[in-house]
């Protein structure tokens, strides 16, 4: 569930994550296509625990998560620049 500026997950889910050896938590925003990634430990270090009537939850701000799609864009841009530089060298333009 997204809350203003972050997300909340059921507290009990983290025991399952640990049992299954899950190292990364990814949250896909269906309406935007964005994927937010974090570590389970980030939720305990930076998150806030609350119960708003649906059981104990941990809430984590987006500032402690990585926007995965944004990182992919950066990687693709870096690769494009690398290919462009290699092309200039191959053509003797540098």
Quote the pLDDT of residue 73: 58
- 20: which DSSP letter? T
Quote the pLDDT of residue 83: 82
- Render pLDDT for 46-78 as a digit per residue (tens, 0 to 9): 999 999 998 999 999 999 999 886 666 577 667
pLDDT tier at 85 (50, 70, 90 boundaries)?
confident
Query: At which residue do the structure tokens 């990182």 appear?
Result: 71
- Render pLDDT for 14-25 as a digit per residue (tens, 0 to 9): 999 999 999 999
Query: At which residue do the structure tokens 């009537």 appear?
Result: 53
Q: Which of 68, 64, 18, 67 is nearest to 45 (CA)?
A: 64
């Amino acid at each position: 569930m997204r809350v203003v500026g972050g997300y909340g997950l059921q507290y009990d889910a983290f025991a399952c994550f640990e049992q299954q050896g899950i190292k990364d938590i990814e949250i896909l925003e269906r309406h935007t296509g964005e994927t937010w990634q974090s570590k389970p430990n980030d939720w305990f270090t930076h998150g806030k625990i609350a119960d708003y009537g649906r059981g104990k939850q941990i809430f984590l701000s987006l500032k402690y998560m990585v926007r995965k799609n944004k990182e992919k864009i950066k990687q693709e841009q870096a690769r494009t620049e690398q290919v462009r530089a290699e092309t200039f060298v191959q053509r003797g333009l540098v």
